[in-house]
Amino acid sequence: MALVQARGLVRTFGAGRAARRVLDGADLDVERGEIVAVLGRSGTGKSTLLHLLGGLDRPEAGTVQVAGEQVTGASERRLSALRRRHLGFVFQFFHLLPELSGEANVLLAASVRGAHPDAAARGRALVDRLGLRPVAGTLPAQLSGGEQQRFAIARALVNDPAVVLADEPTGNLDAEAGAEVLRLLRGVADEGRALVVVTHDPAATAIADRVLSLVDGRLVADADAEGRLTSHAPEGRLWARDP
C-alpha cells in the first residue's frame, strides 16, 4: 500500500464570486522510496496540496492517508501525533528559529511531547552526517542558505518520518546549494521514505521518480504514456526514473 494516498481532494479559497477552487478532485499515491515532484504555476495549489497531505489544512472533500493512518477527519491531537511520528516538513524559507543555533533548531523537534526517545541522538547524528558539525553552534543569521536548509532537513528527519513533504526546498538557494539539497533529499528517499516535493525548480525534477503537474485542480502526469518528455520537461531527460 502507498505510504501517501490522496483521493478526490477538493479545496476552495474565498467565497461567492471570488471563490477559487485550486484543487478539484486531485488524486495521489506515493510509494516507499519514491520521490514525486509536483510542478505548476504559482497559485495552482501546489502548496495547498502539500498542506492537505501533511494535515496542516483540511480539504472540503476527499481523503488523505499517510502511513496507513487517516489524515482527513482526524482530531487536532491525532494530527499532531501523526505529524510527529510519520511526517517531516522542509520549507522554502527554512523556518529556523533565529535565537537558536542550527543544532538546537534540529533538536527542537525532539523536545515536543511524544517525540521518539532516540530523537535527540538521531538529531545529533544527522548534524554530523550532513556535515554540519562545524557550524552546529552557529545562529541561523550567520549560516549560508544551503546550511540553513540542511539543518531544516535534519530537523524534518529527527523523528524518523516515513513521509517528507518539501515545499520549494531549493526556491531560496543558489544553483550549487540547491543541487546539494536535492542530492540530500534523494538520499532521504533512498532510505525508504516517501517524498513529495513541490517545486518551480526544473533541476528538482531530476531527482524525482515521477513528475506531476497540477492542471485545473487535478494532478496529471507530466510524461506521456510512453514515458517520453512533454513540453514541460527539460531537454533530453526522461521523467520516469530508471528502475
Partner 1 sequence: MTGLVRAAYAGLRARRGRTALAALGIAAAALVVGTGTTVSYGLATGFERAARQADLPDVIARFDHRSLASVDERVRALPNLAGRSYRREFLGQRLAANGHETDQGAIDILVRGERRGYAIVRGRDLSGADGEVVVERGLADAWDLAPGSLIEFNRGGRLRVVGIAVSPDNVAYPLARAARVYVDVRQIGRGTDWFSRPNVALLWLRDRSRADITLAQARAVSYGLEDLRLLTRTGIQVLLGQAAGIVLALLSAFSLVALLGAGTMLAAGAQADVQRRLPALGVQRALGFTPGRIAALQATEAALVAVPAAAIGLAAGALAVAGPAADLLAALNEQPPGGALVLPLAGCLAGVVAVVCAAATWPAWRAARRPPAEILRGGDVAPARFGGGGRGGLVALGARFALARRGRWAASVATVAACAGIVLLMLGLASLLERLRDDPGTVGKRYQLTARLDPSLVPAVERIPGVDAATPRYAVDASDAFRLGEPLRLVAYPGDHTAFEAPPLAAGRRVRGPGEAEVGLGLADALGLRPGSTMAAQLPSGGELRFKVVGVVRALEREGRLAWVRPDRLLADDPGLTPSLAIRLRPGADRARVDAALSALGAPPQAVGGATTSNAAFLGVLAAVLRGVGLAVGLVCLYALVQALAVTTRERRGAVALLRACGADSASVARLLAGAALAVALPAAVLAVVLERVAFAPLVASLAAGYAELPLGAAPGQVLLVVAGLGVLAALATALVARRAGREPIIAGLREE
The contact set with partner 1 (CB under 8 A) reads 51, 54, 56-57, 76-77, 80-85, 87, 89, 91, 93, 95, 97-105, 107-109, 111-115, 137-141, 155, 159
- CA triplet 49, 53, 54: central angle to 5 degrees? 115
Minimum distance, C-beta of residue 242 to partner 1, in the bound complex (Å): 34
**Grid cell listed for 164:** 517528507
Minimum distance, C-beta of residue 167 to partner 1, in the bound complex (Å): 9
- Cα(129)–Cα(29) distance, rounded to whole angstroms? 30
- Cα(149)–Cα(147) distance, rounded to whole angstroms? 5
Taking the mean position of all CA atoms in its chain, how far away is CA 219? 16
Minimum distance, C-beta of residue 47 to partner 1, in the bound complex (Å): 8
By C-beta, is 10 or 136 nearer to partner 1?
Answer: 136
- Cα(80)–Cα(136) distance, rounded to whole angstroms? 27
* Burial state string for 207-241 with b = 16 or more CB within 10 A and e = fewer than 16: bbbbbbbbeebbbeebbeeeeebeeebeeeeebee
By C-beta, is 107 or 179 nearer to partner 1?
Answer: 107
User: E strands along 67-193, which residues?
Assistant: 69-70, 87-90, 163-167
Minimum distance, C-beta of residue 22 to partner 1, in the bound complex (Å): 13
By C-beta, is 19 or 141 nearer to partner 1?
Answer: 141
By C-beta, is 130 or 179 nearer to partner 1?
Answer: 130
By C-beta, is 168 or 222 nearer to partner 1?
Answer: 168
Contacts of 13 (CB under 8 A, 6+ apart): 19, 20, 22
Minimum distance, C-beta of residue 241 to partner 1, in the bound complex (Å): 29
